[in-house]
């Protein structure tokens, strides 16, 4: 998929996209402030520029979840941890919908009703309810750091 100046819809192109909780949503094009991977939660760090951080207060400017970019040959990638963009390269950020992210610790659906940025590893999410820093609602659980979970992206 080639980037445009308009948002576009991305969905997982497998039979799984017919199931509840399928990955996909609205994607926007930005510039990366630093090296970013798919699955990273990012915030505005400058005009049209996104970055990740271990400083939760930065996520008051939460944008979304990285899903691709220059290093993925302009393709959307539904698994986290794939290099998506280096500094000053184009990066695709899903701003609405369901996305895969990396958990920074245990997260339990039904007990943890929201996730916030991790304070140990930039781009990851942990269970939390800090107002102004919530980035999503968990749709799957993780028992330890480093596991992939699905979240419903939330801007609040």
Chain Cα centroid distance, residue 108: 18
For position 4, what pLDDT does the model report? 53
pTM for the model? 0.90
Q: Where are the domains of the chain?
A: 8-153
Class at the top of the CATH hierarchy for domain 8-153? mainly beta
- CA distance linking residue 32 with residue 18, whole number of Å: 32
pLDDT by residue for the chain (156 residues), tens only, comes to 555 555 556 655 555 556 777 888 999 999 999 999 999 999 999 999 999 999 999 999 999 999 999 999 999 998 999 999 999 999 999 999 999 999 999 999 988 889 999 999 999 999 998 877 899 999 999 999 999 999 999 987
Distance between start and end Cα atoms, the chain: 30
For position 17, what pLDDT does the model report? 52
Contact 38, 81 (CB under 8 A): yes
For position 20, what pLDDT does the model report? 75
Cα–Cα–Cα angle for 121, 127, 130, nearest 5°?
A: 95
DSSP classification of residue 103: B
């Amino acid at each position: 998929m080639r980037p445009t100046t308009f948002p576009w819809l991305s969905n997982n192109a497998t039979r799984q996209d017919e199931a509840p909780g399928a990955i996909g949503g609205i994607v926007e094009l930005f510039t990366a402030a630093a090296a970013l991977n798919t699955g990273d939660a990012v915030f505005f760090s400058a005009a049209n520029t996104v970055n990740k951080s271990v400083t939760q207060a930065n996520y008051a400017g939460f944008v979304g979840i990285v899903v691709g970019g220059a290093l993925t040959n302009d393709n959307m990638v539904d698994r986290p941890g794939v290099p998506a963009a280096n500094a000053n390269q184009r990066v695709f950020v899903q701003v609405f919908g369901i996305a895969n992210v990396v958990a920074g610790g245990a997260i339990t659906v039904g007990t943890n009703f929201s996730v916030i940025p991790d304070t140990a590893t930039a781009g990851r999410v942990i269970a939390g309810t800090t107002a102004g820093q919530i980035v999503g609602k968990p749709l799957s659980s993780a028992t330890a750091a480093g596991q992939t979970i699905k979240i419903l992206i939330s801007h609040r």
